[in-house]
A = this chain, B = another copy of it.
C-alpha cells in the first residue's frame, strides 16, 4: 500500500523523510569513502573508475536533497539522525588496501540496489521515481567485479582474506541497519510495507524487517559465491 507524501498521513510523511534522510547521508558518505578509497588505486584507470562511482553517489545525493526540499523538509535535519550509524559502519569497515576497497564498493552498491528495490514498492510515486532512477545506474560496479576476478586469478591466495572481509562488511551493515530500525519504528514499518492508514504496526514491521535483511543477506551470499568469494 502506498501513500502520498504530501498528503494527510503524518506518519507516512515523517517516515519518507526519514528514509530519504538515511539514503541521502548514505550517498554522500559513500561519495566520501569511495573518493578516499580511489587514492589506493594501483593505476589511473582504476582510480578514475572508482572516482566515477563516487561521483554517481554524489549525484544521487543531490536528487535526494531536491526531493526532501520538495517535501518541505530541511535536508540536513533529515540526514542528521543517520550520521552515527552510517559513520560507525564506515569507521569499522575502512579498507586496508585497494582490493578491500573494491569488495566494499561492490558489496555496498549491490546491497543498496537490493534495498531500494524492496522499498520502491511501498513509497509514493515521486519517491519511487527517484529510487528507480538510482537503480538505473546499477552496473557501475562491474569494473570492480572484473578487477577482483583478475586479482584472484593472479593470486588465488587473496580470495580467503577477501571472503572474510565481505562477510565482515555485510555483518556491520546489518548490525547498523538493525540499530536504525530499532530506533525508528515508522521508518522500519515503511520500508517493509507495514505502514498502514492507522500508522505503523511495530511488531509486524520488526519481523518483516528481519525477513528483508535475510533476503538481502542471501542475495549477498549468492553474489559472493558467484565471485568465488565464499567464506
Contacts and interface: CB of A to CB of B under 8 A. Distances in A.
Contacts of A45: 76
A188 B52 CA distance: 31
Interface stretch (A30-38, A95-103, A116-124, A211-219): A30-38
Contact of A36 (B36, B44, B62): B36
Shortest 3 CB-CB contacts between residues of A and residues of B: A35-B35, A44-B76, A55-B58
Interface string A47-65: 1100110110011011001
Contacts of A20: none
Nearest to A48: B28
A131 B76 CA distance: 34
A43 interface: yes
A49 to B, nearest CB: 11
A79 B54 CA distance: 21
A62 B48 CA distance: 9
A128 interface: no
Contacts of A3: none
A134 to B, nearest CB: 16
Contact of A47 (B28, B36, B52): B28
Interface in A204-228: none
Contacts of A25: 44
Interface in A1-54: 25, 28, 31-32, 35-36, 38-39, 43-45, 47-48, 51-52, 54
A25 B43 CA distance: 12
A154 to B, nearest CB: 20
